[in-house]
Amino acid sequence: MEADWRDRILFPFLGIISFTTLLYLNFSDQLSFPVLWQPKMAFVGTNSTHFVVAEDDHGGNYSEIYVNGWNSYWLMEKSIWVSSRSKVSKMLRMGAQMGLTVCRTWAFSDGYGSSALQTSPGVFNERVFRALDYVIVEARKNKLRLILSLVNNLNAFGGKTQYVRWAEEAGVNVSQTDDSFFSHPTVKDYYKAYIKAILTRKNSLTGVKYSEDPAIFAWELINEPRCLSNSSAPVLQAWITEMAAYVKSLDDKHLLTVGIEGFYGPKTTERSKVNPGEWAASLGSDFIQNSAVDNIDFASVHAYPDSWIQKGDSEAKMNFLSRWVDSHISDGEHVLKKPVLITEFGSSLRMNKTPEDTNLLLKTVYDRVYESAKKREAGAGALIWQLLVEGVDEYADQFSLVAWDHPSIYKLITRQSCRLRRIFFSGKTTKGLHNEDPC
């Protein structure tokens, strides 16, 4: 009887396990195992100058939320290969453990090579697309939301330069400057096709379209757009208006932002005094004008006093940073009537004389956001640039850090998570908003 049991049940079972293991080890990067259950989440919306999220399935009651989050632009690329996916999972898990709720990352990689998502206009590497699928699934697993940026103004990961190069290679007569990305019909069509492919993508792990997934907090049109060939920037303004309308025609459930750094243009003379230097008004972007477009749901701001004011001492940088954040919050509150999210801010451990200088600059941003939250003003949150885990040093820059290797910064981040939560969720359930509780 015992031998008969082994022959009929145990040995075939062991054979199946062995075969499955062999299949996984050899072809795991090409396999997609379906996700049968995901945490419930609600889409984030806006109510005037606030982000809001539904408290129940009926959508009758909404809570205001103020964001404490971070940037890790490398998540998709590290998810391409199964051997490095654990780094992505750890980063998202550790973010949740710090009470963070939103991560901003790249949903683009344009060009050539095994890590490119878009290898030519409208042609995609399915393996890399599945990597982005994985990032979205892991974010939702940890009850986090993602801001997904759709193209880079810079050359890294292809950017607008790659789009213009593709047009040139196709024999299209484009201008010598990369700013034709914002104006040439062919290049704009390339970008629209990319937007459509992303927004209509059905996740290979869940079967859920990206446009239907509440784990996506918002889309970002472009990372740090600049239009240097036209200082008054009507071309960039027209591009934002056109592309924002196109995104909303495909997806009206998710929020949308531009991705600008927050510089004031030459037409806003009074506010341009807040800029870190005269150079900032000549970059072709304008915080007020760009953010006022109807289909843009919230304004974005970046803040890097260490690199923008290199000759200033710590006090000068802190004074600038306070004015910079307060000015944009005020504009969101009184002019734009929209939330303002600081989607990148950082301080360099290398450039500052002491770790305390770095902490003070980070604390300045957190304190301004906290004060805004207490007053229910438009300063809707901040995302630190950028967090890493061990073993992803190739993505490091002077503003990057492994937070738990710097206890004082780790404490600053978690403290911000906790005090924001205390304002808005005192006596309420936070189910569906947070995975871990550092408070």
Report angle CA 61, 50, 410 to the nearest 5 degrees: 105
Exactly one of 220, 224, 261, 377 is catalytic; name it.
224
Query: What's the CA gap between 98 and 93, in Å, rounded?
Result: 9
Query: What's the CA gap between 348 and 399, in Å, rounded?
Result: 5
Exactly one of 77, 261, 344, 377 is catalytic; name it.
344
β-sheet with 44-47: strand ranges across: 44-47, 50-54, 62-65
3-class secondary-structure state, position 342: strand
Q: Is 371 a catalytic residue?
A: no
Taking the CA of residue 74 as centre, how many other CA atoms within 13 Å lie in the half-sphere pointing to its CB? 23
Q: Alpha helices of 124-257 — where are they, by DSSP H?
A: 126-141, 159-169, 185-199, 234-250
- The b-or-e profile of 285-319 (16+ CB within 10 A means b, else e) is bbbbbbbbbebbbbbbbbbbbbebbeeeebeebbe
Taking the CA of residue 173 as centre, how many other CA atoms within 13 Å lie in the half-sphere pointing to its CB? 0
Contact status, residue 256 vs residue 293, Cβ threshold 8 Å: no
Contact status, residue 52 vs residue 64, Cβ threshold 8 Å: yes
Tokens of 401: 């850090």
Q: Kindly state the helix (H) or strand (E) to which residue 360 belongs, with its residue range.
A: helix 355-374
DSSP per-residue codes, 97-147: HTT--EEEEE---BSSSTT-SEEETTEE-HHHHHHHHHHHHHHHHTT-EEE
Query: What's the CA gap between 194 and 99, in Å, rounded?
Result: 33
Query: What's the CA gap between 338 and 341, in Å, rounded?
Result: 10
Query: What's the CA gap between 189 and 187, in Å, rounded?
Result: 5
For residue 71, which of 412, 414, 385, 421 has the smallest C-alpha distance? 385
Q: Is 224 a catalytic residue?
A: yes
Residues with catalytic function: 224, 344
